[in-house]
Amino acid sequence: MEQATTQEALRKRLDELRQLLNEYAYQYYVLDKPTVADSEYDRLYHELETIEADYPEWINPESPTQRVGDQLLDGFEKVRHAEAMYSLGNAFSEEEVDAFIDRVFKQAESDQIQFMCECKIDGLAVALTYEEGRFIRGATRGDGIVGEDITTNLRTIKSLPLQLRQPITAEIRGEVYMPKKSFLALNEERDALGLVPFANPRNAAAGGLRQIDPKAVAKRNLNLFLYSGVYTESFSPVSQANLFEALEAAGLRTNSLRRLCSTKEEVRDFLRTISDQRHDLSYEIDGIVIKVNDVSTQQALGFTVKAPRWAIAYKFPAQVETTTVREVEWTVGRTGVVTPTAIMDPIALAGTTVQRASLHNIDFIQALDLRLNDQITVHKAGDIIPEVTSVLVDKRTEDSVPLDIPSHCPECKAELIRAEGEVALRCVNPICPAQKLAQLSHFVSRNAMNIMGLGVKVIEQLLTKGFIKDPADLYYLTEEDFLQLANTKEKSAKKYYTAIQGSKTNSLERLIFGLGIRHVGAKAAQLLAQSFETMANLQLASNEQIERIDGIGEMISQSVVSYFGQTESLELIKRLIEADVNMIYQGITLAEQADTDSYWAGKTVVLTGSMETYGRSEAKVMLETLGAKVTGSVSKKTDILVAGEAAGSKLNKAQDLGITVMNEEEFLRSIEKSEKSE
């Protein structure tokens, strides 16, 4: 009786937590008006995770913990839209907008028509299907008739409600986009890895939504605005203004930067106002959409073969300026990538004065045939990053000078390398001074050694004074050393020293990530630490041993082996050991995970098709509880395929590879037997 009472209380608390967290997420991500501190949200979220871990049968798809799953997608199923998703006709001048308005008045035979002017978000059009307020499916626009099912990836967008505040059944449409801040961070990361940066946020958002791994989608930090829908009995606004009210009442995110206009003059004023403001927005827009406000008038005007007669998109003219390149600056990043930047005569571009523009890499420079003193055209890629777009070769003068591509690091003079298949020049000298500040900042960061309070300015002073040269030096600092830094009192010195000493006990995965080994992110560091358990084992690991880890490929294995093949790296590890920094993984190792009586312990399992007894997420939780690893795709590493109805291509592949296949009945018997043996 007491246990039942405890479970009832926990179930009640779980429902309360879901409601609270969903409400806080709505206030933060939809309304942009947070009402609770991040720490409080994190505390409640952790409490919810704990309850769901103890009672996985209570998990439902609307839980805040279920936005990002572990399962990789096999591909994207086709989805037919409830109604065609039309494209819009374009207007490239105010005169063309005036002509559109005149045409609407004439065709509607009325002089009392209002127009809703909305920002044209530069992203990826999507259609969201809700049934009785529950998010069922999300799809891309595709060809307007048939799109691709990207439901799993859309669930990673935190401003997309999984359960509406009203029981609406309808297809709601809008635009997924990448905020400018996220776009800049993503391109910085790609530059560091020697990858070609995305040209604009729209491409990054579109590419993100078509990732096979939902966790990779979540890292893109995408967002969305909703602005239309297929009207139904439970969702039938009478105007575009009324539509926005209905969307907001249901808990859906809309863009408040819109205006209801009654005249050409009012429409023109809105176009000009937004054109002046658009560079200050946190997201990219490429125009203004002008729609007839009244729904009955929209229906009367109808559609052409390609577009509605009641709406048009005014496109902003692209701003391109001409200037002269005076020099090319080569800078070295944390991972050793040497990046070229054009230094130009200053120009006014998209609201700012610009004197520097990205040249990306040598291939880009050679394709342009860029020389010093050339006249060039520049624009802001995605209205954010100044980028050279062309060289005006016909205006080239005799004083133009071919560029010298560096063969040695501009800072440490070590020879630069260009790996096969990469576009980046790279300095591989681990003690290159230009890389030190960024490397040390990474080492102390939250996801690495988490040395609180030791910011860039403090590290910069320590480097300048010669107190540190590499991460190991941090552990030999004294409180007296910190007192020699500018604006550092005894309290701060003690705080820095204590934080450094405290980080010595971190688990091995934090140290591996903190070392900044190329291509090794936090997840890869975790897998490496869990698999090899000690730093000594990892140092001796071969490419083949590393690549046996599910989730680790050739690129990471080569990078790890190369890193530990360098004398400087081995010396760094030696000094860290001498400073008593922990070199052992402190989590549950793979060996411990497999050491149970469960039949499933240590086995790699793939679920496919549908089962009557359990949903896929429930089956996954059960298997992981019994020590199995559940993955999304069949490979030679797969031990068992659990095949429900309509298993499809995964079943065929498993049979071809000779992998054990279980039907639902066999699966249930095995689960029951495993649970009894525990």
Give the active site residues: 120
Distance in angstroms (rounded) separating the CA atoms of residues 330 and 327: 10
Q: How far is CA 149 from CA 76, 86, 190, 330, in A?
A: 6, 18, 27, 43
The phi and psi torsions of 58 (rounded to 5 degrees) equal: -90, -10
Q: Are β-strands 321-332 and 375-381 bridged in parallel, bridged antiparallel, or unpaired?
A: antiparallel
Of 657, 620, 674, the C-alpha closest to 642 is 620
Q: How far is CA 584 from CA 132, 346, 548, 556, 578, in A?
A: 51, 53, 20, 21, 14
Q: What is the DSSP string of 327-344?
A: EEEEEE-TT-EEEEEEEE
Of 79, 73, 69, 66, the C-alpha closest to 210 is 73
Distance in angstroms (rounded) separating the CA atoms of residues 219 and 153: 11
Sheet of 115-121, strand order: 89-91, 311-315, 285-292, 115-121, 258-261
Q: Which two tokens stand for residue 215?
A: 């966790």
Q: Are 312 and 91 in contact (CB under 8 A)?
A: yes
Distance in angstroms (rounded) separating the CA atoms of residues 12 and 8: 6
Distance in angstroms (rounded) separating the CA atoms of residues 33 and 10: 30
At 670, which helix (H) or strand (E)? helix 664-677
Q: Measured at the alpha carbon of residue 296, what is the angle toward residues 293 and 297, in degrees to the nearest 5?
A: 60
Q: What b-and-e string marks burial along 420-452, b requiring 16 or more CB atoms within 10 Å of the CB?
A: eeeebbbbbbbebebbbbbbbbbbbeeebbebe
Query: How deeply is 644 buried, as exposed, middle or buried, from its count of CB atoms within 10 A (0-12, 13-18, 19+)?
Result: buried
Distance in angstroms (rounded) separating the CA atoms of residues 313 and 290: 6
Q: What is the DSSP string of 383-429?
A: TTEEEEEEE-GGG--TT-EEPPPPSB-TTT-PBEE--TT---EEE--
Query: How deeply is 397 buried, as exposed, middle or buried, from its count of CB atoms within 10 A (0-12, 13-18, 19+)?
Result: exposed
Residues 6+ apart with CB under 8 A from 431: 412, 469, 470, 568
Beta bridge partners of 314: 91, 288
Q: Which two tokens stand for residue 430?
A: 């681990």
Residue bearing tokens 């509605």: 308
